[in-house]
Amino acid sequence: MSEHSSNNAQKDEQKNDFIRNIIRDDVKAQKYPQIVTRFPPEPNGYLHLGHVKSICLNFGVAEEFGGVCNLRFDDTNPTAEKQDYIDNIKNDVKWLGFEWAGEAHHASGYFDQLYAWAVQLIEQGDAYVDLQSPEQIKENRGSFNEAGTPSPHRDASVEENLTLFNDMKEGKFAEGKAVLRAKIDMASPNMNMRDPVIYRVMHQEHHQTGDKWCIYPMYDFAHPLSDALEGITHSLCTLEFEDHRPFYDWAVEKIGFDVPPHQYEFSRLNVDHTMTSKRKLKQLVDENIVSGWDDPRMPTIAGMRRRGYTPEGLRDFCERVGVTKVDSVVDFRLLEFSIRQSLETTTARGMAVLKPLKVTITNFAEAVSSWEAQKADSVNARWDDDAQTLWLTQPNHPNVDMGEREIPFTETLYIDQGDYEIEPPAGYKRLSPEKPEIRLRNTYVLAVTEYILDESGNVVELKATIDPATLGNNPEGRKVKGVIHWVSASQGVPATVRMYEQLFSVEDPSSVADVHQALNPNSLTELDAVVEPSLANAAAGTRFQFEREGYFIADTADHSSDKPVFNQIVSLRDSYKPA
């Protein structure tokens, strides 16, 4: 069972999709002693955003209806599979908050039984060995408008087929020289029923079975029979497998099961500006276009985890998307909305200046020397004479008890470059020559008295004063609008901050033949920022809201207190509102 509960009646009512309605009817009719689902990834890559929906659905309905969900690796192609993929898939499922029933299963664990069932099909006259070349088999399948041509080997005797299949098993055929095909209907309007291949020769060592086998079952053959072996009651998959269901049913019927599993299809998760093709994602990794499967720009679960997305946010996103039989494209901003919602009350606050502009407080010593007399009751501070620093104690969250931290306030500060404009645009509400005063977050009102330019005319430093009477108090006789964040220049810590845009610049990157043409050149920008000490000292994987900037995470691979690295999770706010 997962560590989060779905037993709330109101929440259950919200999940009133067609699959849950089918299961409710089956439970009511006592059709099965227990609901059993499965999540059956092929271990040929890292899981991505589309898999999150399948994980949440399969594990979710099992939990909601008092059943169990298996984790099974449909590992029928050793040339593309790795133990690394298996390990990461397990980590991903656990990280999302789910636990599978018992030990993880492998289709390869059923290879002996699958082979025996293949022999059974031959003995029943339902399968035959075809010695045509792969090209001939493809050509003779026909088209949607033309029936296929039966293989010249289709009517060989049972004895001959048993001998040939055993020869395949014993390694007497090279790859591509012999396959086992189901004998169904070469004129079927469903191409998947035109004598599909169910076993092929592959002289490859398997990551689970070693060199025991040189023939391997096809996915479409192993999958339904693995479901049946495990007592799966509801085999949930995406719509592209709808045309495969007739063969799914054919296989379990021909082998003979008293209570066969049934396949139900739902729409896959399509999100704009997002690609979920494992092949193309692997291309990005292999060509070093991204730093790896866990690059924070990648739509993999590993990438989203490193980016700082939360399992709660991803589960909420899938719940909002829902389960239907109609393909559609989901606005990426809905995903960001769910992530943002999950972060609001769970992340501590902190101050980081992403594009530093130096500010020198010319009356610092004089102003701060009287801080104890001037401070309001709401201000908790201490003066460090040796470091010439005023340490301000602030809560880590304004509304949730997350403890406190000390922030150093010193003579030189950094504010963001965007918080001062010599010629501000219309509606600008921060510092400018015409608006020299503003509140520094948690401290004094600051007034800019001078700006300094470099040779190119860029502002490189501000001279300013602070009003000693405004520490925790409003200024007398005037109103000061606006609050900006800041970081001590002398005690702040240099940090790398990675800002992200979507990896793909086109709405449907899968429609572009060359993946390079869909890439967004601005998907990653690295900034030389300065952060308050409490952020630099945080453990890798800790999430924060950088005040006025957004949500960030201390990178799980590169962050250290000596060289802090933060990844942007999501912006602070967005005008998008879910329907």
> What is the set of active-site residues?
42, 268, 278
Alpha-carbon gap, residue 432 to 569, rounded angstroms: 31
| Identity of residue 572 | L
Contact 159, 182 (CB under 8 A): no
Residues 204-230: b if buried by 16+ CB within 10 A, e if exposed: bebbbbeeebbbbbbbbbbbbbbbbbb
Nearest by Cα to 153 from 128, 189, 136: 128
DSSP code per residue over 226-275: HHHHTT-SEEEEEGGGGGGHHHHHHHHHHH--SS--EEEEE---EETT--
| Identity of residue 220 | D
Q: What is the DSSP letter of 369?
A: H
Q: What angle do CA 441, 447, 448 make, to 5 degrees?
A: 115
Alpha-carbon gap, residue 81 to 45, rounded angstroms: 7
Sign of the CA dihedral running 339, 340, 344, 350: positive
* Angle in degrees, 0-180, between the axes of helices 111-123 and 219-229, rounded to the nearest 10: 110
Q: How far is CA 496 from CA 297, 451, 552, in A?
A: 16, 27, 12
